[in-house]
A and B are shown apart, each in its own frame.
Chain A
Amino acid sequence: MLLDRYEIQEIVGGGGMGIVYRARDTNFKAIRLVAIKEMISQVTDPMVRKNIYQIFDREANILATLRHPSIPHIYNYFTVDDRAYLVLEFINGKDLDQILSETSTFIPEEQILTWGIEICDVLEYLHSTKPEPVIFRDVKPTNIMINTSNHIMLVDFGIAKLFESGQKNTMVGTQGYSPPDQYRGEATPQVDIYALGATLHHLLTLRDPRLEAPFSFNERPIAEINKNISKEFIAVVEKALQYESGDRFQNASEFKEALIAAGQKTGTLVHTAFPTASIARTSGIKPLWTFRCEDEIRGTPLYHGGNLYAGAYDNNLYSLNAANGDFNWKYPTDGGISGKPTIHDGKIYFGSEDNLLHVVSSRSGKVVWTYFTNGPVRSSPRLGQGHAFLGSDDAHLHAVNLSTGRLAWKTEASSPIRSTPYITDDRVYYGSEDGDFYCIDFRGEIKWRFRAKRSITSSPVVYKDAVYFSSLDGILYSLDANSGWVIWRFRMGKGSISTPYIVDDKIFVGSADNVIYCVNAQSSKEIWRYTTDHQVTGSPIVYKDSVYCGSVDSHLYCLEYLSGRVRWQFLTEGPITGTPVINEDIIYFGSTDKNIYALLA
């Protein structure tokens, strides 16, 4: 707490001069977030100290006079003991340096062009302030933030300078982005123009100028590194990077006009509106086919033998031709279908909220037999040892004989079972809505039991002697499959009903905190996380080197398996709550927008 007003929440960054916190301004009842820059001087040299304070003071005073949508507001400036604080508008987003380090593919030209125009716009404003222009002097990716609406914000005015012509100064700025004239101590608008040119060059080529010799951009022609960029755009960037300041654009508005002209000529500026800050491919993905049901699809489809089987909340189970989405048949039940069907010996098994386990012919869609429980069936059936195992809201795990369709035995739990059982050679594992987790044998006898703090809707997965599941208590559990001892707990931001997916000792799981996690199965260490814009209730799946996962934010995400970087995302018109399935490079999934989609993976 600072000044009894600002409640520090977390450290969001740190620079050469101090730490940046995210804080809440408690003067307002509504949640108002601010960024607080703290300058602690551990420097003992009084001259250096004074200099640092001066820089800080200058930033505060420059910001106080500026007003532009791409410049953060300054709210307050004060000192406590030996520390100086600057309270600024909190910008939710990433800086371009982060975006550069997270991308493995070239960023689209139109995106870079739009950012470039916005940066020119704010430089134009700064350079034209009265009575003296402000020279930013440190244009570079780390000082340019992209907020969640994909607009740029210029941050860190620590070395920005009110321009006094003819005055020589010591070199400030960042090597790699700064022009030769800045090394000579000059601070003119051409300095910012060159640095923006250098930043655009970095964005276009992904080649970091800090790692190269100074002023060597002409040794790394954009056209040779990134063949997708139009020659018009390249010409503009190269002009900004001229060695002699006189050969560059004379001011930021000239630079901006040139960028706009290049964009209009090549047509890239026609569709510049990006819906999110994501730099990944968001558009241009066309479904191979879609199929519209009469109500939401919340569950997971099944692919088998060229056909897709999916249940919907219009009470039907659909069979579609997986190649083109053509309708084969539908089978009506009297309740919504939320689980994933399973197939055995030409028969489809699935539960419905009409309390029944349905068994229908996969070819004709005609009923073979049904089995009645005393509550809605939201758990998906699993088959093993000649039996179907399924949970029901009647608080029992049922074992149904596949050849007779009759109950073999059922084991009572103290609450509904919506988790799908996992079957091994001699054990059945499942969770229940009051948080109990059970391991039973094939006679229905409980071998061990474990209790989580809240319900276990997530379905367990057994992998190498351990059983993994998540719970609404916000924990991903690893238990010894034989004894039920807790091996580790991994804490997520919120509860989870997502079923873990495990491959190569890596666990992938979603959570209501909007995150898709990748966790080491042996050590419970987080490997990466990807944050979507809403809850993740379905399960991720891994196919080749990608992770696919839907989110309640209506997107299906394709992430890099090793790093969690987004490869592409596909927007549907409703939350995606189920899990996709993939067969031979085609991904199938349902959305609550009532459609079943087939995309190229």
Chain B
Amino acid sequence: MANLFKKLFVKEVQEVQSEATTAPLSDEQINEILIESHKIEPAQFIVGCGRNVGRQRTNNEDALFAHASTIAADSKDFPFGIFIVADGMGGHNNGEVASEIAVRATGQYLMKKLYDPLFGLSPHNPDESLQEIMRAGVVEAHRMVTKHAPGGGSTLTAVLLIGTQMTVAHIGDSRAYGIYLDGRMQALTRDHSLVKRLEELGQITSEEAATHPQKSMLYRALGQGEPSDPDVFTASLPQPGYLLLCSDGLWNVVPDDQMFNIITSAPSPHRACQNLVDAANAAGGPDNIAAVLVRLSD
């Protein structure tokens, strides 16, 4: 398995090379050099998605959106992606409606503002900053959810991927993780849940948090009250590695190290998502499950 990764991720190859002595090259080393000579531009990424109702609910209130494209030309040469996970809440069918609207409204806004200008004879960068656009997208989603799913609410975790960086807008308790091949699995987002807040304030321990009866109570969500103030930040991509977006139906029941093993051992992001959903259901599948996994090679 380790060899496969060295083949997939060129950075590993370079590190190995730098340690090489003057001794004759091993077959493995020669193989790696051959692979590097086939390196193509631009950098690319592969996306997988999984969405499942789980084993205890009858309707699926999780929604997701994944868009990936690559532009390789003289003036612009970079991958572009928009990934969103939303987890709805609220009685009747409002939860399903809210998360679907949240995903559609955000996706539409971002595509129009960021994707359309890349085409045509004179592609141009948008006038507003990426973070301003992401914020405006969340405000638009909030407006649409309030209008079309009154009483409903939704989490929203949206990642805009351009080149080597990602800009994240986040509200609620869905999560984005950066996963590195050296074993690090970092939650990039912070849950806006009451229980997480209590834990941050040192009022309860993480063990108490895991079994707390009000585990899913949020203090910030789309469609609830005042226009929501999302967390927005920009960071370098976990490259080489993975970016995972998921709802609490996954992270609540599958521990981090298990998720890490599933993701890094699967042959493709698509298969990894399937295995993540299976793992959540094997753990009881108490909630809807949504996951978007992006594999980033260097």
By a beta-carbon cutoff of 8 Å, the part of chain A in contact with chain B is 448, 450, 464-466, 478, 480, 482-489, 520, 522-524
- Asked if B129 is at the interface of the complex by the 8 Å CB criterion, the answer is yes
Q: Are A465 and B128 in contact (CB under 8 A)?
A: no
Mark B residues whose CB is within 8 Å of A: 75-76, 78, 125-126, 128-132, 162-165, 167, 231-236
Indicate which residue in B75, B78, B125, B234 contacts A466 across the interface (CB closer than 8 Å). B234
Q: A residues within 8 A CB of B75?
A: 448
B164 near A486 (CB under 8 angstroms)?
no
With contact pairs A464-B236, A465-B236 given, residues A523 and B164 touching in the complex (Cβ less than 8 Å): no
Verify B129–A487 contact, CB threshold 8 A. yes
**Residues of B contacting A487 in the complex (Cβ-Cβ under 8 angstroms):** 129-131, 165, 167, 234
A523–B167 CA distance with the chains assembled, in angstroms = 9
Given contacts A485-B125, A486-B125, A487-B234, contact A524 B131 (CB under 8 A): yes
Q: Contacts of B131 on A, CB cut-off 8 Å?
A: 487-488, 523-524
**A523 B163 Cβ-Cβ under 8 A:** no
Report the minimal beta-carbon distance from A415 to chain B, rounded to whole angstroms.
21
Other A-B contacts than A485-B126, A523-B131, 14 sampled, CB-CB below 8 A, are A448-B75, A450-B125, A465-B163, A466-B234, A480-B165, A482-B163, A483-B76, A483-B125, A483-B162, A486-B125, A486-B126, A487-B167, A488-B129, A522-B233
User: Which one of B130, B163, B231 contacts A486 once the chains associate, using CB atoms below 8 Å?
Assistant: B130
**Contact status B234-A478, CB under 8 Å:** yes
Chain A residues whose C-beta falls within 8 Å of the C-beta of B167 in the assembled complex: 487
- Give the total number of A-B pairs whose CB atoms are below 8 A apart: 57
CA distance A480 to B235 in the complex (A): 10
On whether A465 and B164 interact (CB within 8 A), knowing A484-B125, A522-B235, the answer reads yes
Which residues from chain A contact B235 at a C-beta distance below 8 Å? 464, 522
| 3 A-B pairs with least C-beta separation | A522-B233, A523-B233, A486-B129
**Alpha-carbon separation in the docked complex, A464 to B162 (Å):** 14
With a cutoff of 8 Å between Cβ atoms, the chain B residues found around residue A484 in the complex are: 125
CA distance in complex: A478, B126 (Å): 14
A483 and B78: CB pair below 8 A? yes
Tell me which residues across on chain A come within 8 A of B129, comparing CB atoms: 478, 486-489
Cα(A487)–Cα(B164), bound, Å: 12
CB distance from B75 to the nearest CB of A (A): 8
Which A residues are CB-close (under 8 A) to B76? 483
A482 to B78 CA separation, bound complex (whole angstroms): 9
Q: In whole Å, how far is A429's beta carbon from the nearest beta carbon of chain B?
A: 15
A485 to B236, CA, bound (A): 14
Inter-chain contacts of A448 with B (CB < 8 A)? 75
Which residue of A is nearest B80, CB measured?
A483
Looking across the interface, which residue of chain A has its beta carbon closest to that of B129?
Answer: A486
Residue from B78, B125, B130, B232 in contact with A523 in the complex, judged by beta carbons closer than 8 Å: B232
Q: Which residues of A contact B78 (CB under 8 A)?
A: 482-483
